[in-house]
A and B are shown apart, each in its own frame.
Chain A
Amino acid sequence: MFTPVPMLRVDLRLLTDDAPRGALALAVCAEFDPEVSEVPADQLPELPGESYRLVHGEAQGRLEKILAHYEITDVGPEAVPAEPESLAQVVELGAWLKLQWEQCSEDEEKVRRLRDEHRRTQQLLQTLDQFMVLNIDLTLLQKKSEFLDLHVGMLPRGNAQRCEEALSLAGYVSIRFLTKPDQAHMIIAGPADRKQEAERVLQAAGWHTADIPPEFRGRPAEVRAALTARAHQLQTNAAELDERRRAQGAQDSLRSRLLEAAHTLARAEPYATLAPLMRSRGSLAAVSGWVPAAQLPRLLRLLEASLGGRYVLQTRAPRADERLRVPSLLRHHRWLQPFAALVQSYGVPRYGEIDPTVLFAVSFVLMFGMMFGDVGHGAIIVLAGITLRRRLRGYTPLVIAAGGASMSFGLLYGSVFGYEHLISAFWMSPLSDPMRMLGVALAWGIGFIVLATALTIRNCLSEGRWHAALWDGHGAAGLLLYLGLLFAAYRYATTGGIDAGALLGMVLPLGVVFAGTWQENSTTGPGERVLIVLVEGFETVMSYLSNTLSFLRVAAFSLNHVALAIAVFTLGHMMHAAGYWLTVVLGNVFILVLEGAIVAIQVLRLEYYEGFSRFFSGDGRAFRPLTLRYGHAAALKPNG
């Protein structure tokens, strides 16, 4: 519960011919995390599953494309355990899938062409808009003539008149067929022998020639009707293709064949996955990995049933030097899963390191409740968690627990939707004694930091890092320094001064931290060493102080919660009855959404930065067992 599940390193030796069957048994067990074998590559130089992996990869890739083409998403687990496929069978299946995919790909290409054609037709319709006012056959504008020089295009509106006048000198006529605020669209025609003269004028006037697409044949209205009909036809064709695709996908024979193929490839997948890690020489193959110690008997049963004694399985406990390679498997109750997810978003605990999920869950819920204590708001959060459970999925317990904690602290504070007179407080309203709230928050923070530092020491000891556990600023010396600082602060607050005992309680551990840092930096020069010692000592003291003060926010937000409610009521009282209730409701929604979110973020911040960053390295490797892609009825049963 507080550390990852104990693991065993297993080395499985089996006959090369049995490798696919052995891989399937490991996947059915779903408790084997494969890893690179310790046997030197020159002893087992072959990769027996390499061609199997390549063939499987291609077939699986095609299958996924076909399933996506026919929109088949739910393959479902296989009901009965079965033998893995041979390489020949996977090759044969791959060939069938290739044929199927060629047909699908052809259909997709047809749809793509129709879509491109439709897009082009739409663009043509947009281009046609500028010619709609012309009631002439557009083919005429595309013809080249020996005697007539014809231009269609646009120019800045301000230049249009002068350009027309200038062109008339060259014997050209112009027709403005469309005038926009900034541009004039024109047709210009004149004698071909004065073409160069006209072009110079047009260039000076900022003329842009409009290309008339060859599809524009006939009058604009006729072209539009033809293009619209074409766009409609293209849409109909695309819809027909889509309908045909759906009908094919719904055919029982094809669907069942594809599902069978999916299961076949799922059975082949474990061996294909193990292929880069499984090595062999002749008829002997070997693969290594990690198994939870408690699951070893089950793994042995499945291997026995599958391989019938034709295997050797060696196990050993993890060595100290491979701690970072051992995967961490965390098993938690369903209710703790959302908290575990938040812990893992920071990092995966190292093997042997304390798994902070339970501590995180308890402290998260308590701090959220204390900072957002209100029976009404808490009840709404609980109701939201229950109502939105499908959308929240795994996070439902977290929302309900946070709401419950908010309700509990609401009872202690006597607060219901900000009203403090509806129920009597079991403890006190935060605003009635802010100093006491701050004191409680400070005590909570001290407890939190002491616990976090104790966990740091424990983790260092478990990893054999004695120096860090004893002399480091975050180890035993640091903890004593922190306690010394707290004692000195207490003496100063109660007596107005710091006596020799309190001073010694601070100076001695600080000296130990200095000495530890000095020793740790033995390779650096003396000047730099002194600087490092002083800076690190200063940083240790400051981080303890600032981290402790950081917990004052727990009280600050509980006071803030009451203050916001008072602000809402003050605004409400400035209005009449309807306005009052509207303000109170909207104010509560504001508090619930905005302050609720801020409090959640602040709690997470306290957990991550004041807690996890002290004792939790988070650089572990998550346990990722070999499994069957679509699950397996037998695999779902415990000790199956």
Chain B
Amino acid sequence: MSAARYAYLHARVSMLADQLLGMERLQFLVDAADAADTWWRALGTRAGAQTDDTIDQEVVTILLRELAVLVRPLSGPPHELLAYWAHRFELSNLKTVIRGKMSGRPLAWIEAQLLDMGPFASLPLVDLLHSDTPAELLRRLERSAYANLARQARGLLEQGKGSFALDAALDRYYFAGLTRHAAAMQDSGAHLLRAIVGSVIDRVNLVWLLRYRYAYNLPPAQAYYLLIPAGHRLSAEQLLQLAQYVSHDEVIEHLPPPYDALLAGVRDTEQVTLVLERETWRVAANTLNYSAFNVARALAYLILRERDLRRLRAILRGHRLGLDGALIRAAIGLDLPRGDGAMVAH
């Protein structure tokens, strides 16, 4: 049943997966500036000088172009899940517009920061950009599919809470939605999908928890409240317990498996992020390589593709700044021990 339903998607994902960068190729691109540039051009990016902003836009454009190909044969919850994945770029646009309007930035400046969402755009961006005040912006947002978000944001602004609370609310809204969409999947690969999404949510929750508690010094109750009300291996009870420890190291020591082994001895939040990202890539690569005829493979591909494009972006920036190979490798995490998700999908 699912073989027939996802035959086209399976074939498409397999074809696209050939583009993923293996470790050897990645090492080669770090060492050869011309090859990295040629590789980047071969992705169908626009000609002309590349700035950081245009590269960021190109990354999103490539991902959305491939996403459009993948969602085309889908309908119902699988289609909604994959399309929802692209929402975070849109939420990034929304954050940019809200921040820009709150700080009184000119229209052209805000426009320049926005990502082109192509066919996945659902925000009334033109209306939002032409808002004169944050209150007007929220009124306009309330007439869109983001009405709930607008009410929540207004509540935060009326309470005098700043952009930090708003950003946290937007992120929580996105990840809670992602969990909801994954939970709505019922077919054979649903457990794989939930494992990938769960791994992402666990990473975000743990990193936020560490940041809120020990970088921003928020009390346990507030830090716990700001987390996403979902998880895979980190349940709500475990997060509640972890929020009460007094130091970063204590949290790491009391993590449940497999995070206790993965994060043993890791002492800063950036490293925690990198290690847990690798864990997500490992889960995604396993799904891509060892499962068939399901939507989880498509999501796994998109996650790995995004990883590659962001690495390629870092390599290009590194070359442009004249950094040596070791620094670029450190920036993209190639200097960490192997066992990550850098394996190529077949």
The residues of A with any CB-CB pair to B shorter than 8 Å are 54, 57-58, 61-62, 64-65, 98, 101-102, 105, 108-109, 112
Interface of A is mostly: helix
User: How far does the alpha carbon of A102 sit from the alpha carbon of B136 in the complex, in Å?
Assistant: 10
Contact B107 A57 (CB under 8 A): yes
Asked if B34 is an interface residue, CB under 8 A from chain A, the answer is no
Q: Which of B106, B107, B130, B139 contacts A108 (CB 8 A)?
A: B139
Contact A54 B108 (CB under 8 A): yes
Across chains A and B, the number of contacting residue pairs, with CB separation under 8 Å, is 26
Asked if B133 is an interface residue, CB under 8 A from chain A, the answer is yes
Asked if B132 is an interface residue, CB under 8 A from chain A, the answer is yes
Asked if B135 is an interface residue, CB under 8 A from chain A, the answer is yes
Q: What 5 A-B pairs come out closest when comparing CB atoms?
A: A61-B130, A105-B136, A109-B135, A112-B139, A54-B108
Chain B's closest residue to A61 (CB) is B130
Query: Can you offer 10 A-B residue contacts whose CB atoms are under 8 A?
Result: A57-B107, A62-B130, A65-B130, A98-B132, A102-B132, A105-B132, A105-B133, A108-B139, A109-B139, A112-B142
Chain B's closest residue to A50 (CB) is B108
Contacts of B107 in A (CB 8 A): 54, 57-58
Contacts of B129 in A (CB 8 A): 61
Contacts of A54 in B (CB 8 A): 106-108
Q: Which B residues from 149 to 195 make CB contacts under 8 A with A?
A: none
Contacts of B106 in A (CB 8 A): 54
User: How far does the alpha carbon of A606 sit from the alpha carbon of B257 in the complex, in Å?
Assistant: 62
User: How far does the alpha carbon of A64 sit from the alpha carbon of B131 in the complex, in Å?
Assistant: 12
Contacts of B132 in A (CB 8 A): 62, 98, 101-102, 105
Contacts of A101 in B (CB 8 A): 132
Contacts of A62 in B (CB 8 A): 130, 132
User: How far does the alpha carbon of A53 sit from the alpha carbon of B108 in the complex, in Å?
Assistant: 11
User: How far does the alpha carbon of A34 sit from the alpha carbon of B142 in the complex, in Å?
Assistant: 37
Q: Which B residues from 101 to 137 make CB contacts under 8 A with A?
A: 106-108, 129-130, 132-133, 135-136
Contacts of B133 in A (CB 8 A): 105
Contacts of B130 in A (CB 8 A): 58, 61-62, 64-65
A57 to chain B, nearest CB (A): 7
Q: Which of A57, A58, A98, A108 contacts B136 (CB 8 A)?
A: A108
B166 to chain A, nearest CB (A): 19
Contacts of B136 in A (CB 8 A): 105, 108-109
Chain A's closest residue to B151 (CB) is A116
User: How far does the alpha carbon of A105 sit from the alpha carbon of B139 in the complex, in Å?
Assistant: 10
Contacts of B142 in A (CB 8 A): 112
User: How far does the alpha carbon of A353 sit from the alpha carbon of B106 in the complex, in Å?
Assistant: 45
Chain B's closest residue to A98 (CB) is B132
User: How far does the alpha carbon of A102 sit from the alpha carbon of B133 in the complex, in Å?
Assistant: 9
A96 to chain B, nearest CB (A): 14
13 further A-B pairs in the complex, CB-CB below 8 A; given A58-B107, A109-B136, A112-B139 = A54-B106, A54-B108, A58-B130, A61-B129, A62-B130, A62-B132, A64-B130, A65-B130, A101-B132, A105-B133, A105-B135, A105-B136, A108-B139
User: How far does the alpha carbon of A339 sit from the alpha carbon of B142 in the complex, in Å?
Assistant: 40
B107 to chain A, nearest CB (A): 7
